[in-house]
Amino acid sequence: MLQNLTKHRYRLIREQKINGLLEQIQSRSKHLLDLETDALGLRAKESAAMADGGFDEFYARLGSIGNYHRRNPELVVRPPELDFLKYKHNPEEADEKRRARAARELASAQGEDPAADVVGDEEDETETFIDEADERELETMFSGEERFGRYVDLNEQHDLYLNIKDARRLTYLEYLAEFAKFADIPRKSKDAKYVEYLSSLRAYFEGFFARSMPLFNLAQAARESRAVFEAEWKPAAASAGDLFCAACKREFEKETTFAAHMGSRKHQKTVERLAKESGGGAAAAEHAQQRNIEQKQAAERELAWLERLVQRYAEILADKIQDTRSNVQRRQALTEHERAQEQLDDEPEQLGDDDDDQGEQLYNPLNLPLGWDGKPIPFWLYKLHGLGVKFECEICGNTVYRGRKAFERHFQEPRHATNMRRLGIPNTRQFHGVASIEEALGLWERIQRDKKQTTVNADTFEEFEDSEGNVFNKKTYLDLKRQGLI
């Protein structure tokens, strides 16, 4: 069970198997405990029957057992030890043996090695804990975006988020970075659709834990998060909304609207109806309104707990979510053919799974950038694009870009435009190629100075002619005309 497996698929199947064995141990232990405590009362009934009839009940049951085995003479009981023996063998070593056997058979069939035979092939057919059924189940367990549990797939939740009223319009890449920031969503937008969205996030993460991390103690993490939430919620538990009408169960955004509602005829009718339904007067109506406030507080408490639980799940899966963002960015640069080819690969990113992998290490002595397949790009392509030349942009926080193409492209990206706005400079084409803050500020001052000079010189460049044919510039002409000299 504890072989050092390098393939992500095999490790995942092994964890699923271990989880199944743990659940089997727990169920059988519970069954033995029920038999010990006689939870169903069967032992007491059996003792009473045997006390009344002596050995008649014993021999009757013994005869039924004998009849069952006579009707099923070929019934074979498989010892559980045989199933556990399969866990002693490494599935990766078994794969290597099968490939070696296929190579020997091919060589023998082609006559390249007459001495090659299949003696000892029976030993190569080692039965491991992984079979075809496990492979098929693993194929259907994850979506294509999840890549066998390496990444998360929140596309459905992203669609639900976009349907929330007044929610920010985020792309999927931005959503992966900010989906746990529930404080950014307006309070008035946290309606039934918002609860549905949170429930969908919770259900997905719990299912993802069960599929990709079956040995993770999710219940314990939820209990610890609940304890922290209860401790943090207590000081704010008694606070209620000042603009909440307890009788009508409505919350208002503005005080003027709330005051108008409290004095409306509809509100008074609702208060009178509550008093009649409570069987009393004003005190009963006030008690009913207090009950509505408590229900509202309970709903807010449950909603806050749901938000905290989803945030806790996101904290645990922070590495996988970050890997998902990187994978989404990488896939956006792929062509359709490259995406289809990646789907056909069984282990496209085997070398980058975990730090404890003992498989083949990536050989990259020149520190070349990685391509779409996770391998270093060819050196000729590295030289063709000039990736050995590094360009630094001081405006973007001294970010270094490899190659002229990436450096030129970043001037039109949002990051550079945002930093230019922070300097008070528009990101126009005149500043394309300027990476120094001092140069950008100097160029902006010169542009403003030239613009001001152009405005001043406009009066000098424009000419006017009087009735006698004398030519003046605009400023002189207007001065003489105001004085009545022309």
- Dump pLDDT digits (tens) for 53-87: 667 777 888 898 999 888 888 877 777 766 666 66
Closest among 440, 428, 208, 459 to 310, alpha carbons compared: 208
Cα–Cα separations (whole angstroms), residue 476 to 105, 216, 472 = 105, 87, 6
CA distance 155 to 162: 11
For the cut 50, the answer to whether the pLDDT of residue 350 exceeds it is: no
Eight-state DSSP code of residue 391: E
The percent of residues in the chain predicted with pLDDT above 70, rounded, is 66
Eight-state DSSP code of residue 77: P
Under the banding of pLDDT at 50, 70 and 90, the label for residue 353 is very low
Specify the range with the lowest mean pLDDT, choosing from 165-179, 259-273, 367-381.
259-273
Cα–Cα separations (whole angstroms), residue 471 to 463, 482, 484 = 7, 16, 16
Under the banding of pLDDT at 50, 70 and 90, the label for residue 236 is very low
**In terms of pLDDT, which residue wins out, 457 or 420?**
420
Provide the pairing of β-strand 244-245 with 250-251: antiparallel
**In terms of pLDDT, which residue wins out, 300 or 179?**
179
Within 10 Å of residue 371's Cβ, how many Cβ atoms? 13
CA distance 269 to 251: 18
What is the DSSP code string of 396-422? TTSEEEESHHHHHHGGGSHHHHHHHHH
pLDDT score at 122: 45
CA distance 121 to 101: 7
- Mapping DSSP to helix (H, G, I), strand (E, B) and coil, where does residue 464 land? strand
pLDDT score at 36: 85
Which amino acid appears at position 190 of this protein? K
Cβ contact 353:8 at 8 Å: yes
Which residues, 6+ apart, have CB-to-CB distance to 212 below 8 Å? Answer: 12, 142, 146, 148, 149, 320
Which residues, 6+ apart, have CB-to-CB distance to 292 below 8 Å? Answer: 246, 247, 249
User: Tens digits of per-residue pLDDT, 106-145?
Assistant: 666 666 554 444 444 444 455 666 667 777 777 778 887 8
User: Tens digits of per-residue pLDDT, 280-296?
Assistant: 555 555 555 556 666 66
Under the banding of pLDDT at 50, 70 and 90, the label for residue 312 is very high
Under the banding of pLDDT at 50, 70 and 90, the label for residue 261 is low
pLDDT score at 359: 43
Residue 245 has φ and ψ, to the nearest 5°, of -90, 110
Q: The pTM is what? A: 0.53
Cβ contact 467:455 at 8 Å: no
